[in-house]
Structure 1
Amino acid sequence: MKRRIVDGAFGLSVLALLFGIGFHSLRAADQDDDSGYSQIAIFAKAVQLIRQDYVDGNKTSYHDLITAALKGMLGSLDPHSQFMDPNDFRDMQEDTRSRFNGLGIEVAIKNGLPTVVTPMEDTPAARAGILSGDQILKINGTS
């Protein structure tokens, strides 16, 4: 029970510290330009404080903290944006390749035209020289 109270008190103090840093950053942001450097410094300080003061800080790696921050940052943009670490990305590519039949391109509509987002390796599209950003104007002579 005592450990639970200590953990809770420590967690609240870390949250209060991060809230204070965030409050200070809002005041500083009003005075600074929007270059982002002051915000990055605040982020770096928060990561340092977590590693230094969190109850299991030595079990929380910088890699894990930064990865979690990147996932949160990209996840906040829209439902289709996400951060993938290299292993997740490689697994996704292998999974896509193993289930894929067809030309070998990922397509999205940009400026009203179907546009190649990614040609997949070792597919007919890649062998034909299709590149990311290519726009599809006609298919079999039909536009």
Structure 2
Amino acid sequence: MPDLIKIAPVQMGGIVRTIPMVTRMQLIPVLFERLDDALDKASVFFAGPQTALYRIDGDEMEVRIGVPLFQPVDGFEMFDAPCGNALCQRVLGPLDGLPGVYRSLSEEISARGLTRGVWAREVYRFIAKDASLNVTDVSIDVTDALH
């Protein structure tokens, strides 16, 4: 069952792009590859957790993919991952079921009488070559205050 959580703001660095909704499934993996290349070029051994934020505006989607950064690093755009309240579900294993997770979260927002916010986000807590070991927190922001 999804949890209602408070998300703290985080200053991040990475890639910010607006892409057509219809090509998102092809373009989003390319953005992650670009982030990995930028980390490698910056000689960053570890940065995490990687976070992806998604905001839909009509036929386009703003995508922010990055890692926590406290100062600018060459090759990274600085951006804020905003604070907020969100309905969150932890996903264990492969990420191919994400569309169903988003549907489930959207249905749960309605069932609880909450109001959907602007951002959806994925925080990759642990990603492995063996996808059965993955741990990802998927959330959709809500505008309602936590009690």
Larger helix share, 1 or 2: 1
Task: Report which of the two structures shows the higher radius of gyration computed on alpha carbons.
Answer: 1
Same topology, TM > 0.5? no
TM class, shorter-length = under 0.3
Relative to the length of structure 2, the TM-score reads 0.26
Relative to the length of structure 1, the TM-score reads 0.27
Larger strand share, 1 or 2: 2
